[in-house]
Amino acid sequence: MNLNINDLPIQKLHSLSKNGIETSILRLDLVHPIISGNKWFKLKYYIEEAIKYKKQGIASFGGAYSNHIVALAFACNQKGLKSVGFIRGEKPKQLSPTLIAAVSFGMKLHFISREMYRNKNNLINEYNIPNWLLVNEGGYGLLGAEGAATITELFQQNNFSTILCSVGTGTMIAGIIKRADEHQQIIGISALKNNFSIQNEINALLTETDKKINYLINHDYHFGGYAKYTDVLINFMNNIWITENLPTDIVYTGKLLFATTELININYFKPKSHLLIIHSGGLQGNSSLSNGQLLF
Ligand SMILES: *Cc1c(COP(=O)(O)O)cnc(C)c1O
């Protein structure tokens, strides 16, 4: 199975190019149907690290629909590393499509209670996994941010005044900020509700020079919280599929596109702005929906 990394299109969004604004989207979702675009980039230096230090494999954490878990399973499988996923919650009668995919890539799953999940360090002793590289949930960390920074090699910085992306752990946006030009604005749309401490978590990945970049996190488009959604969001996602032939997901990119559309409609951006939206992938997250809600 191959990943399509070098040939990712930047698609102009006609319905979002108005009020003197031009809007395009970088299609990281086309990296792979299951391996979420940004997760692949965030993992690449962790994989190198595991190989360099001759680790047996990589262990990490996530929920039953985690894009990070399935991307990790795939990446380790490709590089001949073992992988372990600590999954939050009881083992369900039927595994989610995400976890079925992770197992098919050779990942060993351990289901752990929410309480144990909070004490991640105990797990490492309990499951006796020395000589494993442990990666934070979502790939959060400096190596993750450096990997995400390489996303910027896929476009010409000076073509865009504003870059917008979704924010979960903040690792991807930290990487984008690291490579941004001083004239650019970077806007992150938080996928979590009232997650104001994200600011500190992002800053922890930035140098003093990085922090001079003009960036902000918007907290207005969580639609009730992480992985929550409403009919309004689903209708919007169906609409953007019909008008732009653009698939989005309910956790991250649907909310990102919704936010961008609304900000354009209220003239938030200066005329002549050139926006680049990062489509970070995550379409496999839609597998938690019942059939028929989405047109794609
Ligand atoms: C994980 C994920 C994000 C969030 O990235 P962070 O680096 O955790 O902020 C955004 N979009 C998609 C599709 C993801 O899978």
Query: Which CATH number is 282's domain given?
Result: 3.40.50.1100
- The reply to whether 293 falls in a domain is no
Please give the full DSSP string across 183-213, using - where no structure is assigned.
T-EEEEEESSTT-TTHHHHHHTT--TTGGGS
- 257: closest CA among 269, 249, 268? 249
Same domain, 261 and 282: yes
Q: How many angstroms does the Cα of residue 68 sit away from the middle of ligand 1?
A: 8
DSSP labels, 262-296: HHHHTT-SPTT-EEEEEE---GGGGGGSPTTSS--
Judge whether 90 lies within some domain: yes
| Distance between CA atoms of residues 237 and 250, nearest Å | 8
Confidence of residue 287 (pLDDT cuts 50, 70, 90): confident
Instruction: Give pLDDT, residue 128.
Output: 63
Same domain, 122 and 269: no
DSSP state of 90: P
Residue 280 domain-assigned (yes or no): yes
pLDDT tens sequence across 87-125: 999 999 999 999 999 999 999 999 999 888 888 777 767
Q: Which residue, judged by its Cα, is nearest atom 10 of ligand 1?
A: 166
10 Å Cβ neighbour count for 247? Answer: 20
| pLDDT tens digits, 209-223 | 999 999 999 999 999
The verdict on 127 and 16 lying in the same domain is no
Do 25 and 49 lie in one domain? The reply is no
Q: 43 and 24, same structural domain? A: no
Same domain, 21 and 85: no
- Quickly list H helices, 15-170: 37-52, 67-79, 97-104, 114-118, 120-126, 142-149
Instruction: Give a yes or no: residue 227 inside a domain.
Output: yes
Residue 63 lies in a domain: yes
Give the residue from 139, 155, 174 where a domain finishes. Answer: 139
**Least reliable range by pLDDT among 92-96, 121-125, 148-152, 249-253:** 121-125
Query: For residue 249, what are the domain limits?
Result: 5-33+145-288
20 within domain boundaries: yes
User: Could you tell which of 29, 31, 34, 36 is best to mutate to test the pocket of ligand 1, judged by most ligand atoms within 8 Å of the CB?
Assistant: 36
* 111 and 11, same domain (yes or no): no
Total tally of structural domains belonging to the chain: 2
User: Is residue 2 very low, low, confident or very high in pLDDT (cuts 50, 70, 90)?
Assistant: low
Q: Which of 159, 190, 192, 163 is nearest to 176 (CA)?
A: 163
From the CA of 277, how far away is ligand 1's center (Å)? Answer: 13
Q: Is residue 296 part of a domain?
A: no
Last residue of a domain, one of 110, 139, 168: 139
Indicate whether 151 and 273 sit together in one domain. Answer: yes
What spacing in Å lies between the alpha carbon of 35 and ligand 1's midpoint? 12
Residues with CB under 6 A from ligand 1: 36, 38-39, 67, 138, 166-173, 252-253, 280-282
Q: Are residues 214 and 182 in the same domain?
A: yes
pTM of the model: 0.96
Both 209 and 284 in a single domain? yes
Last residue of a domain, one of 120, 139, 158: 139
The number of the ligand 1 atom at minimal distance from the alpha carbon of 138 is 8
For residue 295, being part of any structural domain is answered with: no
* One domain, residues 196 and 132: no
Q: Does one domain contain both 26 and 154?
A: yes
